[in-house]
Amino acid sequence: MVRIVDNDSDYDESSSLPMSQQEEWSDVVPIPQDDGKNPVCPISYTDEYREMTDYFRAVMAAGEVSQRAFELSGRVIDANAAHYTAWVYRKKLILDLGLDISEELSWVSEISGRHIKNYQLWHHRGALLALLLDPKSLEHESQDQRVQNPAIRNELQFVGEVIDNDSKNFHAWSHRQLVVRSYGIWDQEMAYVETQINQDVRNNSAWNQRYFVLTANQSADEFVLSEEVADREIGYAVEKIKLAPNNESPWSYVIGLLARHAPAMLYERLLPKINELAADKDYAIAVTSTPFYWSALVDIYEEQAKALSVDERGGVEAFAEEACDSLAEKYDPIRAKYWEYRKQALRTAN
Amino acid sequence: MATKLAVDAHVRYFRMCLHGLPHQMTSLDAARMTFVQLCLVGLAALGKLDETCSAEDKKGMIEWIYGQQVLRDGTELSAAYCGFRGGSLFGPHDLCDYTPANSANVAGTYSALCALLLLGDDLSRVDRPAIVEALRCLQQQDSGCFAPHPGTTERDPRFIYCACAISAILDDWSGVDKDAAVKYIVSCCNPDGGMTQAPFQESHGGHLYCCVASLALMGRLDA
């Protein structure tokens, strides 16, 4: 169970004997920090941290391989999770001592509440997973079977808890991509994405994950957006736009998807649906008062104009320019200069 | 409501930070170099650096920064660890048998070079070939991206940006395969127009800056 704590709370050093009085450490000469004569931005360490790092400097400098060095590395990391060489040393100790990877994953879970946005922690977790479970060992299993693998289940549970606490934790979503991609568990991820979007239609991280699930399972050259899938995604996006028209995510999702993979579908398939929405008395006002509706029109008409001959494209370009004007003047005035730039770009594309 | 920037308050803040930070900021211990850079940049941007830091102050700071430089030790192994450390947390250089313990990282190197320049140093004590070689070691063969230091799976546009800024400052790009870096950056363009740390991840303003700035420094904004 991941318990997130306020990042500002002091690291809780349990009260115990100073290391200098511990028998276990009596053979080690601690190395004090050498901050030179004129330290800049020196930190007023707690006595515990100072002593801990004095001993840690000593064992790390000697490249000591031992259980006590390993445990000390954990205390140092928990006190300062951005200590980049401590993580490298800890990983080496795990391998040299042949320590249990699952236990290490549990330790990472335990301290993660205090360091939930720390890059090194998440990368350490990813490296541990690769050591624990070789993707090749699951080659012959179905996706349903793979999802039942204890290590995979554990990862999904951990990262799911983190996202439950903070639905936009960048590292957590990134870790999900690592797990999905490494072990080929794409189907459950689409279901997960839909649950997240149902919980919060404004969660852009979930929308981004939808694009990932849809397209990342093959190389960039291989992915082809079929008409069937395009219609499904357009329908899905429109349904979510109806829930909250002034929410950028479904708009940028569907336009991005089509613009990148099947630009003609922007005007052939998406535009009719947007026009329907704008004509629907239940949604017309809410939808057409958002900047996203007008921005969508600029993107769509711009693309449509490209496909027309010079003679034919005038009308469509005019629509796009009018949309730019509406945005600059009324719906998105803070970006007036950007919309002016888009208008100029339309003209010079002639 | 205030309508003017409270310059004096900001100057006091930066000066205070340069003098010392409370223990609650222990998590910055491995990134003190970047904090130093930011304080100096802040003062310089306000036009108050010379007023706040005397020549003697600057000299002292320059010495501390050079104290974090990791130099070559003659072995091939050490090349990737060279540059500037993020702070003195890691231990004296001459007492270290385990090279990774005293590793520099690209963010430390980038911040150190910026800070030295702001303090008026001529970089004559910087081991340029060592830094360039470290960059070469840290650029990933498979992707073109950069790791911050050896031994980690971290790699993302922050470190490409550091590598590019370092190369621009040293006016030596031989440590950076620009084509490979550009290819990686382009793969970080998202359908929503944003950029991110690795293909398919969510668009992120910080990584967008690092990607665009790297392209600008490499002279490849047309990519």
pLDDT higher than 90, residue A230: yes
Contact B200 A46 (CB under 8 A): no
Closest-CA residue of B relative to A170 is B202
Kindly list the residues from chain A whose CB atom is less than 8 angstroms away from the CB atom of residue B21.
41-44
Contact A36 B67 (CB under 8 A): yes
* ipTM surpassing 0.90: yes
Tell me which residues of A are annotated as active site.
117
Cβ atoms of residues A151 and A133 within 8 Å: yes
Contact A31 B18 (CB under 8 A): no
Per residue in A181-222, pLDDT (tens digit) is: 999 999 999 999 999 999 999 999 999 999 999 999 987 778
B 50-109: CB under 8 A from A = 60-61, 63-65, 67, 86, 88-92, 95-98, 100-103, 105
B94 — pLDDT class (breaks 50, 70, 90): confident
Cβ atoms of residues A270 and A255 within 8 Å: yes
CB-based contacts of B20: which residues, under 8 Å, 6+ apart?
A: A41, A42, A43, A44
Min Cα–Cα distance to chain B from A131, Å: 13
CB-based contacts of B73: which residues, under 8 Å, 6+ apart?
A: B99
Average pLDDT over residues A314-341: 96
pLDDT higher than 80, residue B1: no
Can you tell me whether residue B21 is helix, strand or coil?
strand
Closest-CA residue of A relative to B107 is A84
pLDDT higher than 50, residue A305: yes
pLDDT higher than 50, residue B73: yes
Per residue in A276-290, pLDDT (tens digit) is: 999 999 999 999 999
Q: How far apart are CA A37 and CA A273, in angstroms?
A: 70
Contact A42 B20 (CB under 8 A): yes
pLDDT in the model for residue B93: 74
Can you tell me whether residue B193 is helix, strand or coil?
coil
Q: How far apart are CA A257 and CA A261, in angstroms?
A: 6
Min Cα–Cα distance to chain A from B157, Å: 13
Query: What does pTM read for this prediction?
Result: 0.94
A268 — pLDDT class (breaks 50, 70, 90): very high
A 219-278: CB under 8 A from B = 252-253, 255-257, 259-260
Average pLDDT over residues B40-62: 97
Q: How far apart are CA B169 and CA A271, in angstroms?
A: 49
Can you tell me whether residue B109 is helix, strand or coil?
helix
Cβ atoms of residues B181 and B144 within 8 Å: yes
Quick one: angle between helices B205-218 and B157-170, nearest 10?
Answer: 30
pLDDT in the model for residue B76: 72
Q: First-to-last CA distance in chain B?
A: 45
Q: How far apart are CA A235 and CA A237, in angstroms?
A: 6
Is A170 in the B-facing interface, judged by CB distances under 8 Å?
yes
